[in-house]
Amino acid sequence: EAQVTQNPRYLITVTGKKLTVTCSQNMNHEYMSWYRQDPGLGLRQIYYSMNVEVTDKGDVPEGYKVSRKEKRNFPLILESPSPNQTSLYFCASSLSPPIGTITDTQYFGPGTRLTVL
Amino acid sequence: SQKIEQNSEALNIQEGKTATLTCNYTNYSPAYLQWYRQDPGRGPVFLLLIRENEKEKRKERLKVTFDTTLKQSLFHITASQPADSATYLCADNNNDMRFGAGTRLTVKP
């Protein structure tokens, strides 16, 4: 089944304790991205990756890191989480980057609900 | 600044009626707009895409319009059902994907 998976689905942690949220897709998609979703603010892009070893900042990158060593995986790293990073996180992928007239739709993972105490 | 906005946070309608949701964009011209459905606690799911040179797109009970003069897209659900209750998001493609805040639709029996 074509899908985007994220782990963990739920995570409660404390300020400053490094964590990684994994994201994997089995569709051979080039483009992957991370979003956070907060009430009233909608989905905001954190980082995106056009292809292996190519990553770039989205709208809200502060406090996050990513890597794209393999095409299928795009982990999100919080080196020193803070309470303002408490949010619902989504990983997404598409065959091609959403640029110009390219119309590949994005497939989203199930989400990771993170609470930082 | 460039914005994509869904001004209605929530919309309540009666079953069988047509739901109309609005997405506005300012200070740029997207090549296309997409509409997604999101159920509570789940990731958005793609519904429809409409290009800037298309006036209207349909899929079963769904219809999307794109008015480049008004800088607006309308999303319609005809003969709405309680199962249509969800949050609906519009998104653009201005170099990266940007989403509106969403409109939470509730269809009452």
| Bridge partners, residue B92, by sequence | B98
Chain A residue with the nearest C-alpha to that of B42:
A110
Chain A residue numbers touching B6 (CB-CB < 8 A)? 42
User: Within 13 Å of residue A104, how many CA atoms lie on the same side as its CB?
Assistant: 17
Chain B residue with the nearest C-alpha to that of A104:
B49
3-class secondary structure per residue, B39-63: CCCCCCEEEEEEECCCCEEEECCEE
Strands A112-116 and A10-13: parallel
What's the pLDDT tens digit per position in B16-55? 999 999 999 988 778 889 999 999 989 999 999 998 889 8
Chain A residue numbers touching B99 (CB-CB < 8 A)? 35, 42-44
pLDDT, chain B, mean: 91
What's the pLDDT tens digit per position in A15-61? 999 999 999 999 999 999 999 999 888 899 999 999 999 999 998 99
Comparing C-alpha atoms, which of A20, A16, A15, B57 is closest to residue A6?
A: A20
Nearest CA-CA distance, residue B79 and chain A, Å: 26
